[in-house]
Structure 1
Amino acid sequence: MQLNVETLALINGGQALVLALMLWYGAHDGCRYALNGLRLRAAAMVAEACGDFVLAVDVHVSPLVVLLLGNGLNLLAQVLTVIALRMVLQRPLLWRTSLAVGVVGWLGVAWLSVIHPSYPERVLWGSTILLCTNGLNIAALWGGCGKRETRAQCVLMWAYVLAIALLVWRNVSLWALATPLQSITAPSPINSFYVLLYGVQPLLASVGFLLLYNEILQRELFDLARIDPLTGVNNRLGLLEASETLLARARARHESIGVLLIDADHFKSINDRFGHDDGDRVLLELVTNIRRMLRAGDMVGRVGGEEFLVLSPAVQRADLLALAERIRTAIERTAFSIEGQSYALTVSIGAALAHGDEADMSGARRRADKALYEAKHAGRNCVRIAAS
């Protein structure tokens, strides 16, 4: 088989179809937005494959059909890829901008094919449009390479950088020729080399999409293991890891960490009277009130049932007491609505300071727990702090 442009286009089209199947059937679980983005990328690969097949059978159809239909399918693939990537990354989709770039690009190709036929100018125009779509992809990926957990973004970004370099090389090579080429199918090392390398770029991008999808799944599993599913705050594991980080920082800076153990008073009566669903809604509102009182560096987590833990770095005894009182007062003044009825809720809070010279947070937790018991014993709806 002669390795000409048509043969290379046929190979590229078959490869694109295989990649589309891999993307579509290779992922079936995980977050919905990433899955939808991956399948939209698969649809883009199908459009790209159809564009390659149109080029592969150019001897059997009108050259104008090859130009308008083939370029239209490839531009559609570029537009869908921009939207798919942003969908996976949870960025603004910019679908209007992408669609406008695609439509303007196709109209320019039509003009330079029918009204003012010029192959070098058409290549330059098409390359400019592809530079825009690749630029949109790079903009979505920008900033992701510096993080260890987002290496797939580096793979994708370099794939698009290489695509831009290929476009620049092609245009420089074409305009440097003494006798300009008249079509992509004209026998030429430039055309053959371009079609060959252009078929590799979708492979790199598709691998990058799969790696990115895997990273998102891994990150989702990581979060699920550390986030309380009801309230959205840290669970015991998340709090344990966060406390180790905070304690190491406190040790280096010779600071203390405030620990607040917060327990909703008589919460069992809410569950018994209204049911667990309404009780869950009260817990969500309770967490909202706690978060509203915290600083940017403070952290809240759920340690079980209606008991929550607050970690507040770089505080002194007076600061910690003031924070606990703000939380207690805010909850006391909140009217919790249950089945259309206003319900008052209070909390008891035990406080303790963890110092940087402690091996871990368990000692401070025990002191805060003992202070919480004292607050309960004192009649609830109050704050008690453990002795230093």
Structure 2
Amino acid sequence: MHLNIETLALLNGGQALVLALMLWFGTRDGSNRAVKGLRLRAGALLLEAGGDFILAFDFKLSQTSVLLMGNTLNLAAQALTIVALRMVLGRNLRWREAIALGVTGWLGVTYLGAVHPDYLMRVLWGSAILTCNSLLNLSALWGGCREQDTRAQCLLFWTYVLAIALLVWRNLSLWMLATPPQGIGVPTPVNIAYVLLFGLQPLLASVGFLLLYNEILQRDLYDLARIDPLTGVINRLGLLEASDVLLTKARARRESIGVLLIDADHFKSINDRFGHDDGDRVLLELVASIRRMLRANDLVGRVGGEEFLVLSPSVKEGDLLALAERIRTAVEHTPFHINGQSYALTVSIGAAIASSSEQDMMAARRRADAALYEAKRAGRNCVRISAA
């Protein structure tokens, strides 16, 4: 088999087809936004494969047919890739810009190829459109290389940077030739190198997409292990990890951390009277009431049942008691709706201060728990702080 344009295009088309099947059948949950983006990328690869196969069998087609069909498929694939990447990343899809670039590119290439033939200008026009497509992808990936938990964005970022560099090199090479070729199918060194190198882009981009999807899954699993599924706040594990981080920062700044243990009074009666579904809705409203009283750097998590923990860095005893009282008052004056009826709910709060010299937060949490017990003994709907 000779190394010519048709052979390279056939190999590239086969590679794109295999990658498309891998992306499509390698994902299962089609309702996930990232999976939808991956499958959209698979569709783009099928279009790229179609464009490669048209180039591979250009000897059976007219030059105009190869030009129009091949560019239609490739430009459509580029537009789909822009939307697919942004869908996986959770960004604004920018599909209008993607479509506009595709249509503009097709009109320019068609005019310079079929109406007023000028190969060099056609390559320049197409390269400008492809560069704009890559710049849209780069804007979605910007900053990804600086994030600690992702390397896939870095791979994709440099893939599109290299794609732009390849386009620049191709145009410079063509314009420097004394007699430039009049089509991509002409087996010149520039065309062969371009088709060979450009054929690697789908492979690198698809690997990047798969790695990016894997990183998203890992982050989702990480969050699932640390987020309470009912209330959306962090759970015991998340609180434990967050406590260590806050205590490390407190040591560096020699500051204290406020700890509030909040328990909904007589919550069992709500579940017994209205059922657990309505009880869950009350918990959601309770969390919302607590959150409205917190500062941006305060943290709330669910310890279990109807008990919640608030961590408030850089506070003193007076500030912590004021925060606890604001939370207690807000909950007391919030009407909780159950089956169309308003229900009054109160909370008991135990408070404690963790100094920066403590080894961990467990001792402060035990003191807050003891203070909470005192608040319940005092008749509930009140705040008590640990004396130790």
TM-score range, shorter chain: over 0.9
Residue aligned with 1:180, SS = coil
What corresponds to 1:93 in structure 2?
Answer: 93
Q: Which amino acid aligns with 2:214?
A: N
Q: The residue matched to 1:240 in structure 2 has which SS?
A: helix
- State the 1:29 CA deviation: 4.5
After superposition, the Cα gap between the structure-2 partners of 1:344 and 1:254, relative to the gap in structure 1 and judged at 3 Å, is same
- The one-letter amino acid paired with 1:209 is F
Amino acid at match of 1:18: V
How far apart, CA to CA, are the structure 1 residues paired with 2:353 and 2:177?
76
**Counterpart AA for 1:121:** M
Amino acid at match of 1:219: R
User: Cα deviation per residue 1:25-57 (whole Å; 9 max; x = unaligned)?
Assistant: 122259701111001000000000000001111
Number of the residue aligned with 2:187: 187
Partners of 1:30 and 1:217 within 8 A in 2: no
CA distance in 1 between counterparts of 2:342 and 2:232 reads: 25
The match for 1:355 is 355
Decide whether the 8 Å contact of 1:105 with 1:126 is kept in 2: yes
- Show the counterpart of 2:72: 72
Q: CA RMSD in A?
A: 0.9
Q: For 2:155 and 2:218, how far apart are their aligned partners in 1?
A: 17
Query: Could you say which residue in structure 1 is the equivalent of 2:175?
Result: 175
Decide whether the 8 Å contact of 2:255 with 2:355 is kept in 1.
yes
Question: What is the distance in 2 between the residues matched to 1:191 and 1:118?
Answer: 17
TM-score normalised by L of structure 2 = 0.99
Letter in 2 for 1:64: T
Give the equivalent residue in structure 1 for 2:141. 141
Q: Distance in 2 between matches of 1:285 and 1:31?
A: 28
Separation in 2 of the partners of 1:156 and 1:373? Answer: 55
In structure 1, C-alpha distance between the alignment counterparts of 2:41 and 2:381, rounded to whole Å: 56
In structure 2, the partner of 1:376 is 376
One-letter amino acid matched to 1:163: A
Structure 1 CA distance for aligned equivalents of residues 31 and 242 of structure 2: 25
* 2:350 maps to 1:346: no
Runs ≥4 residues deviating over 3 A: none
Whole-angstrom distance in 1 between the partners of 2:382 and 2:137: 54
Is residue 2:288 matched to residue 1:288? yes
Unaligned runs of 5+ in 1: none
Give the aligned length: 388
Identity rate of aligned residues, in percent? 73
The aligned amino acid for 2:306 is: E
Q: Secondary structure of the residue that 1:345 maps to in structure 2?
A: coil
- CA displacement, residues 143-173 of structure 1 (integer Å, 9 cap, x when unaligned): 1111121111000001101100000000000
Structure 2: distance between partners of 1:368 and 1:180? 80
Deviation at 1:180, TM superposition (A): 2.1
* Partner SS, residue 315 of structure 2: coil
- Provide the rounded CA distance (Å) in 2 between the counterparts of 1:11 and 1:144: 32
CA distance in 2, matches of 1:334, 1:178: 81
Other structure's SS at 2:151 match: helix
Q: Which ranges of structure 2 fall in alignment gaps of 5 or more residues?
A: none
Does 2:221 align with 1:221? Answer: yes
2:144 & 2:155 partners in 1: Cα distance? 10
1:212 matched to 2:250? The reply is: no
Q: What is the deviation of 1:251? A: 1.1
**Is the 2:170–2:190 contact (alpha carbons within 8 Å) kept by the matching residues of 1?**
yes
Aligned-partner residue type, residue 82 of structure 1? I
1:321-372 alpha-carbon deviations (Å, 9 max, x no partner):
0000110111111011111001111100000000111111111000000000
1:160 alignment partner AA:
Y
CA distance in 1, matches of 2:146, 2:113: 43
Is residue 50 of structure 1 aligned with residue 50 of structure 2?
yes
CA distance in 1, matches of 2:245, 2:230: 25
Paired residues of 2:30 and 2:36 also in contact (CA < 8 A): no
Question: 2:149 is paired with a residue of what secondary structure?
Answer: helix
The CA distance in 2 between the partners of 1:90 and 1:252, in whole Å, is: 36
Q: TM-score, normalised by structure 1?
A: 0.99
1:201 equivalent to 2:201? Answer yes
Q: In the alignment, is the contact (CA less than 8 A) between 1:31 and 1:217 conserved in 2?
A: no
* Matches of 1:72 and 1:31, distance apart in 2: 29
Q: 2:8: which partner in 1?
A: 8
Corresponding residue number in structure 1 for 2:245? 245
User: Counterparts of 1:148 and 1:342 in 2: how far apart (Å)?
Assistant: 47
- 8 Å CA contact retained: 2:350, 2:375: yes
Amino acid at match of 2:121: E
1:328-347 equivalent positions in 2, closer than 5 A: 328-347=328-347
Q: Is the 8 A contact 2:352 2:386 kept in 1?
A: yes
Letter in structure 1 aligned against 2:44: A
In 1, are the aligned partners of 2:298 and 2:313 still within 8 Å (CA)? yes
Conservation of the 8 A alpha-carbon contact between 2:145 and 2:153: yes
Report if the CA contact (8 A) 1:247-1:361 is conserved: yes
Is contact 1:5–1:185 with CA below 8 Å preserved after alignment? yes
Matches within 5 A, 1:306-345: 306-345=306-345
Matched to 1:161, the amino acid is V
* Paired residues of 2:37 and 2:88 also in contact (CA < 8 A): yes
SS in 2 for 1:191: helix
Q: Is the 8 Å Cα contact of residues 98 and 133 (structure 2) preserved in structure 1? A: yes
Question: Residue 153 of structure 2: SS of its match in structure 1?
Answer: helix
Would the aligned equivalents of 2:12 and 2:49 in 1 still touch at CA under 8 Å? Answer: yes
